[in-house]
Amino acid sequence: MGDEMYTETAVQIDAAVSARKYSSDMVDDLARLGRDVEDLLQVWTGGAADSYGQSWAELKSAIEVIAGDLEQIGDLVGESARDYERAESDNATTFSSTKMLRL
């Protein structure tokens, strides 16, 4: 019992889909917010506006990295779940065929 592994692939697949959806939502929200910031910076000038613009660029870059990582995590979790399901199916087929052997 100590080293047994159990995984619920449906939960993994749901998590993968959710991660990719959240990533996509983040990218969409970031684009909308970016348009608002661009509009603001067209009418706002001065040192404070420059600092804000620089901070926005850094934040935007960090969020893009996070969204990309989240999408990659979703892809990897989904791939892992599919691989696990395939292995389980192959093992079940092998087990069923060996049960028919008469030793």
Residue ranges for the chain with pLDDT beneath 70: 1-7, 94-103
Q: Is residue 1 situated within a structural domain?
A: no
pTM, two decimal places: 0.72
Residue 92 lies in a domain: no
What is the reported pLDDT for 17? 92
Look at residue 2 in the predicted model and tell me its pLDDT.
Answer: 54
* Rounded distance between C-alpha atoms, residue 83 and residue 54, angstroms: 44
Please give the pLDDT value at position 95: 63
pLDDT at 5: 57
pLDDT, residue 100, reads 58
- Res 93: pLDDT: 72
- Asked if residue 39 is part of any domain, the answer here is yes
Domain that holds residue 58: 9-78
- Give the total number of structural domains in the chain: 1
